[in-house]
Amino acid sequence: MLSLYLILAAFVGLLQAKSSTGDSILVILDNKLNRSDYSLFFDGLEGQGYSLTFRAPGDTTPAIKEHDTPNFDHVIVFAPHTKSFSPDVTPQSLVSSLGKGTNLLLALSQKQNLVNSLASEFSLILPPPQTPLVSHFPAREEPATVIPITPQPNVIVDPDLPPIWFSGIPVAPGNNPLLFPILRAPAESFASDATVDSGADSVLEAADRGGEGLWAGSSSSLITGFQTRNGARATWVGGVELFSDDFAKKHTLGGKKSGNAQLSKDVAAWTFQENLVLRIDSVSHHKLGGSETPEVYTTNDQIVYIAHISKYDPATSSWVPYSGISDLQLEFTMLDPHVRTSLSPVPDTPGEYSVTFRAPDRHGVFKFVIDYRRKGWSTLQSSTTVPVVPPRHDGYPRFLSAAWPYYTGAISTSIGFLLFSLLWLAGGEDKAKTKKE
Protein backbone atom coordinates (compact mmCIF):
# COMPACT_ATOMS: atom_id res chain seq x y z
CA MET A 1 0.00 0.00 0.00
CA LEU A 2 2.76 2.34 1.04
CA SER A 3 4.76 1.51 -2.05
CA LEU A 4 1.72 2.20 -4.14
CA TYR A 5 1.46 5.62 -2.59
CA LEU A 6 5.11 6.18 -3.28
CA ILE A 7 4.72 5.21 -6.87
CA LEU A 8 1.68 7.43 -7.09
CA ALA A 9 3.53 10.26 -5.46
CA ALA A 10 6.43 9.81 -7.84
CA PHE A 11 4.07 9.73 -10.75
CA VAL A 12 2.28 12.85 -9.57
CA GLY A 13 5.64 14.45 -9.02
CA LEU A 14 6.67 13.58 -12.52
CA LEU A 15 3.43 14.96 -13.77
CA GLN A 16 3.90 18.09 -11.71
CA ALA A 17 7.34 18.80 -13.07
CA LYS A 18 7.39 22.54 -12.80
CA SER A 19 9.57 25.52 -13.26
CA SER A 20 11.78 26.89 -10.54
CA THR A 21 10.42 30.37 -11.02
CA GLY A 22 6.65 29.84 -11.18
CA ASP A 23 4.02 28.18 -13.30
CA SER A 24 1.87 30.84 -14.89
CA ILE A 25 2.29 31.21 -18.63
CA LEU A 26 0.82 33.80 -20.93
CA VAL A 27 0.50 32.59 -24.48
CA ILE A 28 0.09 35.27 -27.10
CA LEU A 29 -1.24 33.20 -29.94
CA ASP A 30 -1.74 34.43 -33.44
CA ASN A 31 -5.32 34.79 -34.62
CA LYS A 32 -4.44 32.62 -37.61
CA LEU A 33 -3.11 29.81 -35.47
CA ASN A 34 -5.39 27.36 -33.78
CA ARG A 35 -4.67 26.17 -30.32
CA SER A 36 -5.73 22.75 -31.37
CA ASP A 37 -2.95 22.60 -33.94
CA TYR A 38 -0.47 22.91 -31.08
CA SER A 39 -2.40 20.85 -28.61
CA LEU A 40 0.41 18.37 -27.99
CA PHE A 41 2.74 21.12 -26.90
CA PHE A 42 0.28 23.17 -24.87
CA ASP A 43 -1.46 20.19 -23.30
CA GLY A 44 1.92 18.82 -22.42
CA LEU A 45 2.72 22.02 -20.57
CA GLU A 46 -0.62 21.99 -18.79
CA GLY A 47 -0.09 18.38 -17.94
CA GLN A 48 3.19 19.34 -16.33
CA GLY A 49 1.29 21.66 -14.06
CA TYR A 50 1.60 24.98 -15.81
CA SER A 51 -1.42 27.22 -15.96
CA LEU A 52 -1.75 28.65 -19.44
CA THR A 53 -3.57 31.85 -20.25
CA PHE A 54 -4.27 32.42 -23.92
CA ARG A 55 -4.60 35.78 -25.45
CA ALA A 56 -4.80 37.16 -28.96
CA PRO A 57 -2.13 39.71 -29.94
CA GLY A 58 -4.76 42.43 -30.31
CA ASP A 59 -6.30 41.85 -26.86
CA THR A 60 -5.46 44.22 -24.08
CA THR A 61 -6.13 41.89 -21.19
CA PRO A 62 -4.56 40.15 -19.45
CA ALA A 63 -1.62 42.50 -19.60
CA ILE A 64 1.94 41.22 -19.59
CA LYS A 65 2.68 43.46 -16.65
CA GLU A 66 0.83 45.85 -14.44
CA HIS A 67 2.31 48.56 -12.26
CA ASP A 68 5.73 47.56 -13.48
CA THR A 69 5.26 44.06 -12.09
CA PRO A 70 5.01 41.12 -14.47
CA ASN A 71 1.71 39.29 -14.26
CA PHE A 72 3.08 36.03 -15.56
CA ASP A 73 6.17 33.98 -14.90
CA HIS A 74 6.64 33.03 -18.52
CA VAL A 75 5.44 34.42 -21.82
CA ILE A 76 5.10 32.54 -25.09
CA VAL A 77 4.72 34.65 -28.21
CA PHE A 78 3.54 32.58 -31.16
CA ALA A 79 2.38 35.33 -33.48
CA PRO A 80 4.23 35.06 -36.77
CA HIS A 81 1.42 36.49 -38.86
CA THR A 82 0.46 39.39 -36.66
CA LYS A 83 1.30 42.86 -37.88
CA SER A 84 0.00 44.97 -35.03
CA PHE A 85 0.03 44.09 -31.40
CA SER A 86 -1.91 45.73 -28.61
CA PRO A 87 -0.08 48.64 -27.01
CA ASP A 88 1.13 46.71 -23.98
CA VAL A 89 3.06 44.26 -26.11
CA THR A 90 6.11 46.21 -27.24
CA PRO A 91 9.76 45.25 -27.53
CA GLN A 92 10.37 47.48 -24.53
CA SER A 93 7.76 45.81 -22.35
CA LEU A 94 9.02 42.36 -23.30
CA VAL A 95 12.62 43.30 -22.48
CA SER A 96 11.70 44.99 -19.23
CA SER A 97 9.68 42.00 -18.06
CA LEU A 98 12.63 39.83 -19.05
CA GLY A 99 14.68 42.08 -16.80
CA LYS A 100 12.27 41.30 -13.99
CA GLY A 101 12.71 37.57 -14.39
CA THR A 102 10.00 36.61 -16.86
CA ASN A 103 11.12 33.96 -19.34
CA LEU A 104 10.24 34.30 -22.98
CA LEU A 105 9.65 31.76 -25.71
CA LEU A 106 9.48 33.61 -29.00
CA ALA A 107 8.72 32.38 -32.49
CA LEU A 108 10.25 34.33 -35.34
CA SER A 109 8.31 35.19 -38.43
CA GLN A 110 9.18 35.24 -42.11
CA LYS A 111 7.76 38.73 -42.26
CA GLN A 112 8.99 41.77 -40.50
CA ASN A 113 7.13 42.03 -37.22
CA LEU A 114 7.58 42.97 -33.61
CA VAL A 115 9.33 39.82 -32.54
CA ASN A 116 11.73 39.98 -35.45
CA SER A 117 12.60 43.58 -34.76
CA LEU A 118 13.29 42.71 -31.15
CA ALA A 119 15.77 40.04 -32.18
CA SER A 120 18.49 42.55 -32.98
CA GLU A 121 18.55 43.61 -29.31
CA PHE A 122 19.61 40.06 -28.53
CA SER A 123 22.45 40.21 -31.06
CA LEU A 124 20.58 37.99 -33.47
CA ILE A 125 20.93 38.90 -37.09
CA LEU A 126 17.95 37.97 -39.20
CA PRO A 127 17.86 37.36 -42.92
CA PRO A 128 15.78 39.67 -45.11
CA PRO A 129 12.02 39.13 -44.96
CA GLN A 130 10.48 36.27 -46.90
CA THR A 131 13.67 34.28 -47.03
CA PRO A 132 13.13 31.08 -45.06
CA LEU A 133 15.60 28.32 -44.64
CA VAL A 134 15.76 26.16 -47.70
CA SER A 135 17.44 22.85 -48.18
CA HIS A 136 17.23 20.53 -51.16
CA PHE A 137 18.88 17.67 -49.37
CA PRO A 138 17.96 14.99 -48.78
CA ALA A 139 15.58 14.44 -51.64
CA ARG A 140 12.03 14.19 -50.31
CA GLU A 141 8.41 14.83 -51.14
CA GLU A 142 8.07 17.78 -48.85
CA PRO A 143 8.77 21.30 -50.14
CA ALA A 144 12.31 22.60 -49.79
CA THR A 145 11.33 24.78 -46.83
CA VAL A 146 10.29 21.83 -44.69
CA ILE A 147 13.57 20.36 -43.64
CA PRO A 148 14.44 17.27 -41.68
CA ILE A 149 17.28 17.94 -39.26
CA THR A 150 19.36 15.57 -37.27
CA PRO A 151 20.20 17.60 -34.15
CA GLN A 152 23.69 17.88 -32.77
CA PRO A 153 23.48 16.88 -29.13
CA ASN A 154 24.26 19.44 -26.46
CA VAL A 155 23.24 20.08 -22.85
CA ILE A 156 19.61 20.54 -23.88
CA VAL A 157 19.29 18.31 -26.87
CA ASP A 158 19.24 14.66 -25.98
CA PRO A 159 21.89 12.57 -27.84
CA ASP A 160 19.35 10.01 -28.98
CA LEU A 161 16.76 12.46 -30.13
CA PRO A 162 15.27 11.37 -33.46
CA PRO A 163 15.55 13.78 -36.40
CA ILE A 164 13.08 16.63 -36.34
CA TRP A 165 11.16 18.68 -38.86
CA PHE A 166 11.79 22.34 -39.16
CA SER A 167 10.28 25.13 -41.17
CA GLY A 168 11.18 28.76 -40.63
CA ILE A 169 14.03 31.18 -40.81
CA PRO A 170 17.63 30.85 -39.71
CA VAL A 171 19.40 33.52 -37.65
CA ALA A 172 23.05 34.41 -37.51
CA PRO A 173 24.04 34.60 -33.84
CA GLY A 174 26.09 37.67 -32.97
CA ASN A 175 29.11 37.89 -30.74
CA ASN A 176 27.11 38.07 -27.56
CA PRO A 177 28.39 35.53 -25.01
CA LEU A 178 24.91 35.29 -23.55
CA LEU A 179 23.71 33.64 -26.75
CA PHE A 180 23.62 29.91 -27.03
CA PRO A 181 22.51 28.08 -30.20
CA ILE A 182 20.40 25.09 -29.25
CA LEU A 183 19.74 23.81 -32.76
CA ARG A 184 21.93 24.61 -35.69
CA ALA A 185 20.92 24.53 -39.35
CA PRO A 186 22.11 21.63 -41.55
CA ALA A 187 25.30 22.27 -43.44
CA GLU A 188 23.67 22.20 -46.85
CA SER A 189 20.81 24.59 -46.00
CA PHE A 190 20.60 28.31 -46.67
CA ALA A 191 18.16 31.15 -46.46
CA SER A 192 16.46 31.94 -49.71
CA ASP A 193 13.26 32.88 -51.41
CA ALA A 194 10.70 30.26 -50.63
CA THR A 195 9.12 29.55 -54.01
CA VAL A 196 11.52 30.48 -56.76
CA ASP A 197 15.22 30.49 -56.16
CA SER A 198 15.54 33.54 -58.38
CA GLY A 199 14.44 35.72 -55.47
CA ALA A 200 17.62 34.81 -53.74
CA ASP A 201 18.96 38.06 -55.13
CA SER A 202 17.87 39.81 -51.99
CA VAL A 203 19.84 37.37 -49.90
CA LEU A 204 22.90 37.84 -52.02
CA GLU A 205 22.47 41.56 -51.81
CA ALA A 206 22.19 41.36 -48.05
CA ALA A 207 25.22 39.15 -47.98
CA ASP A 208 27.12 41.68 -50.06
CA ARG A 209 26.18 44.47 -47.71
CA GLY A 210 27.19 42.37 -44.75
CA GLY A 211 30.49 41.66 -46.39
CA GLU A 212 30.28 38.02 -45.53
CA GLY A 213 27.60 36.18 -43.67
CA LEU A 214 25.19 34.24 -45.73
CA TRP A 215 22.54 32.77 -43.59
CA ALA A 216 23.78 29.46 -44.72
CA GLY A 217 25.33 26.36 -43.41
CA SER A 218 25.69 25.14 -39.89
CA SER A 219 26.85 28.49 -38.56
CA SER A 220 23.30 29.80 -38.56
CA SER A 221 21.07 28.88 -35.70
CA LEU A 222 17.45 27.75 -35.73
CA ILE A 223 16.69 27.61 -32.04
CA THR A 224 18.69 30.07 -30.01
CA GLY A 225 18.78 30.30 -26.26
CA PHE A 226 19.61 33.52 -24.48
CA GLN A 227 20.31 33.89 -20.82
CA THR A 228 20.20 37.44 -19.48
CA ARG A 229 22.58 38.68 -16.84
CA ASN A 230 19.88 38.47 -14.22
CA GLY A 231 19.24 34.82 -15.02
CA ALA A 232 16.04 35.05 -17.08
CA ARG A 233 15.91 32.98 -20.24
CA ALA A 234 14.61 33.72 -23.69
CA THR A 235 14.44 31.26 -26.55
CA TRP A 236 14.13 32.23 -30.18
CA VAL A 237 12.68 29.67 -32.48
CA GLY A 238 12.98 30.12 -36.27
CA GLY A 239 9.48 28.87 -37.02
CA VAL A 240 6.44 28.21 -34.90
CA GLU A 241 5.68 25.00 -36.86
CA LEU A 242 8.34 23.24 -34.84
CA PHE A 243 5.83 22.99 -32.01
CA SER A 244 2.90 21.98 -34.16
CA ASP A 245 1.07 18.70 -33.87
CA ASP A 246 1.64 18.13 -37.58
CA PHE A 247 5.39 18.04 -37.23
CA ALA A 248 5.23 16.14 -34.00
CA LYS A 249 3.20 13.38 -35.57
CA LYS A 250 4.97 13.45 -38.90
CA HIS A 251 7.33 10.61 -39.52
CA THR A 252 10.88 11.22 -40.45
CA LEU A 253 12.40 9.99 -43.68
CA GLY A 254 13.57 6.87 -41.97
CA GLY A 255 9.99 6.15 -41.04
CA LYS A 256 10.48 6.78 -37.34
CA LYS A 257 8.41 9.26 -35.37
CA SER A 258 9.95 12.70 -35.41
CA GLY A 259 11.63 14.18 -32.37
CA ASN A 260 9.67 17.43 -32.46
CA ALA A 261 7.51 16.69 -29.45
CA GLN A 262 10.50 15.79 -27.35
CA LEU A 263 12.57 18.76 -28.54
CA SER A 264 9.78 21.28 -27.97
CA LYS A 265 9.29 19.89 -24.50
CA ASP A 266 13.01 20.13 -23.79
CA VAL A 267 13.23 23.65 -25.16
CA ALA A 268 10.25 24.73 -23.07
CA ALA A 269 11.71 23.03 -20.02
CA TRP A 270 14.97 24.92 -20.47
CA THR A 271 13.27 28.23 -21.21
CA PHE A 272 10.95 27.97 -18.23
CA GLN A 273 13.83 27.31 -15.85
CA GLU A 274 13.19 23.63 -15.21
CA ASN A 275 16.54 22.32 -16.35
CA LEU A 276 20.12 23.34 -15.87
CA VAL A 277 19.20 25.69 -13.07
CA LEU A 278 21.83 26.12 -10.40
CA ARG A 279 22.12 28.44 -7.45
CA ILE A 280 24.60 29.20 -4.71
CA ASP A 281 22.84 28.57 -1.44
CA SER A 282 25.48 30.02 0.82
CA VAL A 283 29.13 30.87 0.96
CA SER A 284 31.28 31.04 4.02
CA HIS A 285 34.90 31.52 4.79
CA HIS A 286 37.11 31.24 7.81
CA LYS A 287 40.68 30.76 8.87
CA LEU A 288 42.15 27.32 8.73
CA GLY A 289 41.68 25.81 12.15
CA GLY A 290 38.89 28.16 13.14
CA SER A 291 35.22 28.17 12.40
CA GLU A 292 34.19 31.76 13.04
CA THR A 293 34.10 34.09 10.07
CA PRO A 294 36.55 36.85 10.95
CA GLU A 295 35.95 40.47 10.03
CA VAL A 296 39.42 40.82 8.60
CA TYR A 297 42.17 38.48 7.48
CA THR A 298 45.83 39.03 8.01
CA THR A 299 48.21 38.71 5.09
CA ASN A 300 49.42 35.14 4.52
CA ASP A 301 46.59 33.64 6.52
CA GLN A 302 45.36 30.23 5.43
CA ILE A 303 41.79 30.82 4.33
CA VAL A 304 39.10 28.18 3.90
CA TYR A 305 36.32 29.05 1.52
CA ILE A 306 33.17 26.98 1.31
CA ALA A 307 30.28 27.30 -1.11
CA HIS A 308 27.06 25.33 -1.12
CA ILE A 309 25.49 24.84 -4.52
CA SER A 310 22.22 23.21 -5.37
CA LYS A 311 20.45 22.34 -8.56
CA TYR A 312 16.78 22.55 -9.23
CA ASP A 313 15.14 19.20 -9.60
CA PRO A 314 11.96 19.62 -11.64
CA ALA A 315 10.76 16.12 -10.77
CA THR A 316 10.33 16.99 -7.12
CA SER A 317 10.10 20.76 -7.57
CA SER A 318 12.84 21.18 -5.06
CA TRP A 319 16.44 22.24 -4.82
CA VAL A 320 18.85 19.42 -4.19
CA PRO A 321 22.54 19.77 -3.33
CA TYR A 322 24.62 19.34 -6.43
CA SER A 323 28.21 18.21 -6.55
CA GLY A 324 28.46 17.70 -10.28
CA ILE A 325 30.50 20.78 -11.16
CA SER A 326 34.10 19.87 -11.67
CA ASP A 327 35.45 23.06 -13.17
CA LEU A 328 34.34 25.64 -10.62
CA GLN A 329 36.90 28.31 -9.81
CA LEU A 330 37.39 30.77 -7.00
CA GLU A 331 39.18 34.05 -7.43
CA PHE A 332 40.57 36.18 -4.65
CA THR A 333 40.52 39.56 -6.28
CA MET A 334 41.68 43.06 -5.61
CA LEU A 335 41.39 44.86 -8.95
CA ASP A 336 43.03 41.78 -10.44
CA PRO A 337 42.80 38.20 -9.24
CA HIS A 338 45.64 37.57 -6.81
CA VAL A 339 44.64 33.96 -6.33
CA ARG A 340 42.74 31.84 -8.81
CA THR A 341 42.16 28.33 -7.69
CA SER A 342 39.83 25.48 -8.42
CA LEU A 343 36.91 25.14 -6.06
CA SER A 344 36.33 21.44 -6.02
CA PRO A 345 33.48 19.44 -4.53
CA VAL A 346 33.99 17.94 -1.10
CA PRO A 347 33.71 14.17 -1.58
CA ASP A 348 31.26 13.18 1.13
CA THR A 349 29.12 16.25 1.50
CA PRO A 350 26.76 16.77 -1.43
CA GLY A 351 26.61 20.29 -2.73
CA GLU A 352 29.63 21.50 -0.81
CA TYR A 353 32.64 22.94 -2.58
CA SER A 354 35.68 23.95 -0.64
CA VAL A 355 39.22 25.18 -1.07
CA THR A 356 42.01 26.24 1.26
CA PHE A 357 44.51 28.80 0.10
CA ARG A 358 47.04 31.24 1.45
CA ALA A 359 46.02 34.90 1.42
CA PRO A 360 48.43 36.96 -0.69
CA ASP A 361 51.17 38.95 0.99
CA ARG A 362 49.37 42.13 0.12
CA HIS A 363 46.90 44.13 2.16
CA GLY A 364 43.76 45.64 0.74
CA VAL A 365 40.10 44.98 0.24
CA PHE A 366 39.74 41.64 -1.47
CA LYS A 367 36.75 39.86 -2.90
CA PHE A 368 36.01 36.16 -3.06
CA VAL A 369 34.60 35.87 -6.54
CA ILE A 370 32.78 32.93 -8.10
CA ASP A 371 31.80 33.56 -11.68
CA TYR A 372 30.71 30.35 -13.33
CA ARG A 373 29.26 30.61 -16.81
CA ARG A 374 28.63 27.62 -18.99
CA LYS A 375 26.46 27.48 -22.08
CA GLY A 376 22.94 26.53 -21.11
CA TRP A 377 23.58 26.43 -17.39
CA SER A 378 22.44 29.26 -15.22
CA THR A 379 25.21 31.60 -14.20
CA LEU A 380 26.68 31.25 -10.73
CA GLN A 381 27.92 34.52 -9.34
CA SER A 382 29.00 35.41 -5.87
CA SER A 383 31.15 38.16 -4.50
CA THR A 384 32.09 38.56 -0.87
CA THR A 385 34.21 41.48 0.24
CA VAL A 386 36.75 41.04 2.97
CA PRO A 387 39.69 43.24 4.03
CA VAL A 388 43.14 41.70 4.31
CA VAL A 389 45.23 43.67 6.77
CA PRO A 390 48.92 43.68 7.65
CA PRO A 391 49.91 41.98 10.90
CA ARG A 392 49.24 43.83 14.13
CA HIS A 393 52.08 45.59 15.88
CA ASP A 394 52.59 42.52 18.07
CA GLY A 395 51.96 40.11 15.25
CA TYR A 396 55.52 40.18 13.97
CA PRO A 397 58.20 37.89 15.34
CA ARG A 398 59.78 39.50 18.37
CA PHE A 399 63.36 38.38 17.69
CA LEU A 400 64.80 37.87 14.28
CA SER A 401 67.67 35.52 13.79
CA ALA A 402 68.92 37.75 11.00
CA ALA A 403 69.27 40.61 13.47
CA TRP A 404 71.78 38.92 15.74
CA PRO A 405 74.66 41.15 14.65
CA TYR A 406 72.65 44.14 15.81
CA TYR A 407 71.63 42.51 19.07
CA THR A 408 75.26 41.64 19.70
CA GLY A 409 76.28 45.16 18.87
CA ALA A 410 73.73 46.69 21.25
CA ILE A 411 74.54 44.30 24.08
CA SER A 412 78.31 44.59 23.73
CA THR A 413 78.11 48.39 23.63
CA SER A 414 75.97 48.38 26.75
CA ILE A 415 78.35 46.09 28.57
CA GLY A 416 81.31 48.10 27.36
CA PHE A 417 79.72 51.32 28.59
CA LEU A 418 78.98 49.73 31.94
CA LEU A 419 82.54 48.47 32.31
CA PHE A 420 83.93 51.80 31.26
CA SER A 421 81.77 53.62 33.78
CA LEU A 422 82.79 51.24 36.53
CA LEU A 423 86.47 51.61 35.68
CA TRP A 424 86.14 55.34 35.41
CA LEU A 425 84.41 55.59 38.75
CA ALA A 426 86.80 53.21 40.42
CA GLY A 427 90.03 54.51 38.97
CA GLY A 428 89.14 58.11 38.25
CA GLU A 429 90.68 59.52 41.42
CA ASP A 430 94.21 59.77 40.11
CA LYS A 431 93.20 61.35 36.89
CA ALA A 432 91.05 63.94 38.62
CA LYS A 433 93.97 64.78 40.81
CA THR A 434 96.41 65.05 37.98
CA LYS A 435 94.02 67.28 36.14
CA LYS A 436 93.71 69.58 39.10
CA GLU A 437 97.37 69.79 39.42
Partner 1 sequence: MALAYSLPSNLAPSTVQNTASFLRIIALAFISGAAIASRLFAVINFESVIHEFDPWFNYRATKVLASQGFYEFWNWFDPTAWYPLGRVVGGTIYPGLMATSGVIYNILHALNLPVDIRNVCVLLAPGFSALTAWATYMFTKELKDESAGLLAAAFIGIVPGYISRSVAGSYDNEAIAIFLLMFTFYSWIKALKTGSAFFGTIAALFYFYMVAAWGGYAFITNMIPLHALVLILMGRFSSRLYVAYSSWYAIGTLASMQVPFVGFQPVRTSEHMAALGVFGLLQIVSFAYLVKAHVSSKQFQTLLFVSVVTIGILGTLGIVGLTYKGYIAPWTGRFYSLWDTGYAKKYIPIIASVSEHQPTAWPSFFMDLQFLVFLFPVGVVLCFRELRDEHVFVIIYALVGTYFAGVMVRLMLTLTPCVCVAAAVALSTLLDTYIDPRMPDTTDTPAPDTDRVSVAGATTSEGTPKKTKKDKTPAAEVTQKASINDFATGFEVLGSILEKDKPPRVAGLDSRIVVVGVALYLLVFFVQHCTWVTSYAYSSPSVVLASRNQDGSQHIIDDFREAYYWLRQNTREDAVVMSWWDYGYQISGMADRPTLVDNNTWNNTHIATVGKAMSSTEEVAYPILRKHDVEYVLIIFGGLMGYSGDDINKFLWMVRIAQGVWPDEIQEPNYFTPAGEYRVDAQASQTMKDCLMYKMSYYRFSNLFGGSTPVDRVRNQHLPTTGPTLDYLEEAFTSENWLVRIYQVKKEDSLGRDLKSANAFVEGKKRKRAKPPVRRKAIVASS
Stretch that binds partner 1, among 132-140, 149-157, 202-210, 244-252 (CB under 8 A): 202-210
Binding pattern to partner 1, positions 261-290, x when CB under 8 A? Answer: ------------------------------
Instruction: Kindly tell me which of 78 and 180 has the beta carbon lying closer to partner 1.
Output: 180
293 binds partner 1 (CB under 8 A): no
User: Which residues, listed in sequence order, are joined to residue 375 by a DSSP beta bridge?
Assistant: none
254 binds partner 1 (CB under 8 A): no
180 binds partner 1 (CB under 8 A): no
232 binds partner 1 (CB under 8 A): yes
- What residues have CB less than 8 Å from 355, skipping those under 6 apart? 304, 305, 330, 341, 342, 343, 344
> What sign results for the dihedral spanned by CA atoms 423, 428, 429, 434?
positive
The 10 Å CB-count burial string (b at 16+, else e) for 206-226 is bbeeeeeebbbeeebbbbbbb
Binding pattern to partner 1, positions 44-83, x when CB under 8 A? Answer: ----------------------------------------
Q: Please work out the total of residues on this chain that contact partner 1, with binding judged by CB under 8 A.
A: 43
> Which residue in 13, 199, 213, 337 binds partner 1 (CB under 8 A)?
213
Binders of partner 1 among residues 409 to 428 (CB under 8 A) are: none
328 binds partner 1 (CB under 8 A): no
Residue 267, H or E segment: helix 260-271
Q: CB–CB of 193/200 below 8 Å? A: yes
Stretch that binds partner 1, among 45-53, 90-98, 248-256, 276-284 (CB under 8 A): 90-98
CA distances to 9, 136, 167, 268, 404 from 33, in Å:
36, 27, 15, 19, 91
> Which residue in 13, 62, 91, 321 binds partner 1 (CB under 8 A)?
91
Stretch that binds partner 1, among 108-116, 254-262, 352-360, 389-397 (CB under 8 A): 389-397
Separation between Cα atoms, residue 154 and residue 182, nearest integer Å = 7
> What sign results for the dihedral spanned by CA atoms 398, 403, 406, 412?
positive
Instruction: Kindly tell me which of 17 and 232 has the beta carbon lying closer to partner 1.
Output: 232
Separation between Cα atoms, residue 188 and residue 194, nearest integer Å = 16
Minimum distance of partner 1 from residue 201's CB (angstroms):
17
> Which residue in 87, 159, 211, 289 binds partner 1 (CB under 8 A)?
211
Separation between Cα atoms, residue 113 and residue 108, nearest integer Å = 9
Q: CB-based burial of residue 188 (10 Å sphere; 0-12 exposed, 13-18 middle, 19+ buried)?
A: middle
- Contacts with partner 1 by CB under 8 A lie at 91-92, 95, 98-99, 120-123, 125, 172, 174-178, 207, 209-213, 215, 219, 226, 228-230, 232, 296, 334-335, 363-367, 385, 387, 389-390, 392-393
